Structure 1
Amino acid sequence: MSVTVFIQGRNGVTRWQPSKRWFLLPIMLVVTGTALYQYSETRFAHQQAKVDENQQLREQQKQQVIELKNATEVQLATLVTHVAKMQAKITRLEALGQQVAQNNLLDDQFDFSAEVGMGGLSDLGTGIELSQLINDMDKLASRIDNNYLQLSLLETVSTNLHIDEERYISGRPIDKGWLSSPYGLRNDPFNGRRTMHKGIDFAGREGADVIATAAGVVTWSGSMFGYGELVEIDHGNGLRTRYGHNKSLSVNVGDVVAKGDTIAKMGSTGRSTGPHVHYEVLRGGQQIDPQKYVYRKAS
């Protein structure tokens, strides 16, 4: 099969018969164009996939940054909470320590409000993880709790020692005066009969101070038959003291008095011949000789 082409020109009609190569040219052009198109499509798809991959990677990185930020905020919040708890515990510990120091007259040797002196050479250490820091803070908080408990026990023991010292009965119930009648058998000043005197009388000036011979709680403050105006103090351990014939009373029932406090004014109320204080010591509800308490050394 052959194809003949007639071309009209100035010089007439020209006859041209193309060879088979001319028929292959369009096919080659189509094949080449298709190949170029497919190559472009493949390259575009590859580039688009790479762009999508990069975008997905950026999204992942963004999410990781957000998660890291959130985790950091949580850790910082935890750290702030730990610091706040430790500050509160240290403040409480300092207050208790200052109180114990003052109670034991050691406040001139311990200053709980100042920084603790530390120093010395040190090598540069490695970095510390936040989790390790929180763990160390937990251990420190536990040590603070333990120290606070021990210091509380020490404060209690110290206070009890002071209380025991204050409850130690000793001395006279007056500042000025003299012993006018001892404990034991005597002639009654009103009827002359031989009777048992269950206390010690200290005479003095009317209106003079009557003082507590030990710390305790007032269990009686008022008039009692025979005693006149009476103050009774419970010192614990079954011991009580009585102060009778007062002119006036300075304490009420339930008051806590310290050793040496003024509790009344000397008088001559009740069964009395003149200004004096009738002083008794009771153990287990029974009067005993106060002499050993009056003349023994203070603790």
Structure 2
Amino acid sequence: MRNATDKASTAVLALGFLFLYLPIASVVFYSFNDSRLVSVWSHFSFRWYTALASDDELINAATLSLKIALLTACASTFVGTWAGFILARFNRFQGRTLFSLMINAPLVIPEVITGISLLLLFVAMEQVFGWPRGRGWLTMAIGHTVLCVSYVAIVVQSRVKELDKATEEAALDLGAGPLRVFFYITLPLISQAVGSGWLLSFTISVDDLILSAFLSGPGSTTLPLVVFSRVRLGMNPEMNALAAVIIAVVTLGVFVLNRSVRNRGESARQIAAQNHQKSITGLQDYGATNV
């Protein structure tokens, strides 16, 4: 009976993975198809990769999207890490409910509403202050950051709540200030959550279409906007080549970052354990001396 249950679970899991990853594999497979028809195989060729390399519109849009995504990921990680830490460690302070509501609001508010609100805000600011002059990459980066801060804060908050406070308290007892404890003890321990938040923000920004449509201007068309406008006129095999390149880059980036964060996290945990043991030994020696 148990073997039958295990086989059924394995089959369901396999079907789930096929449902998720078979379309992605088919996109990569047909990106090497020489035919103009997306779903009809002709023969193996790098024709569409060559066409992609000479497509200035797609390259410029991809470069702009990466620029916005990098800025968004860094800004969102910086703000979201502090917000998540505050929500996890400071349970009671004046305005906490409002602060938590503001951090979590972008998760439940439709992106259309957020896009309209930010568009009206930027228009009003331009009329009053003269900034920003029109819409472009900066307004899109601000809009993406507003959206992504919530995701980083939630990931970091859940990780901080799982931490053992004994290590931080030991560092405080040894004379370290709160900021020093955060940067040398807490931050290394939550580095995996911070890295995950950075990756999540980067992915959301690169993939965002709705906010970009509201906040973009002339000469600031991102990759999702270009792809969406082309797909509406019919699927182009060049899109398969573009998707395959993005999949390869993202997969490599995730693998390298995960290995780096994992190694750094292990080193940080070892250092924290050593510091904790030193603090215990110091306290024991202090107690023995005074006795």
Normalising TM by the smaller chain, what interval?
A: under 0.3
Using CA pairs below 8 Å that are at least 6 residues apart, which structure has the higher relative contact order?
A: 2
What TM-score, normalized to structure 1? 0.21
Q: Which has the higher strand share?
A: 1
What TM-score, normalized to structure 2? 0.22
Q: Which has the higher helix share?
A: 2
Larger Rg: 1
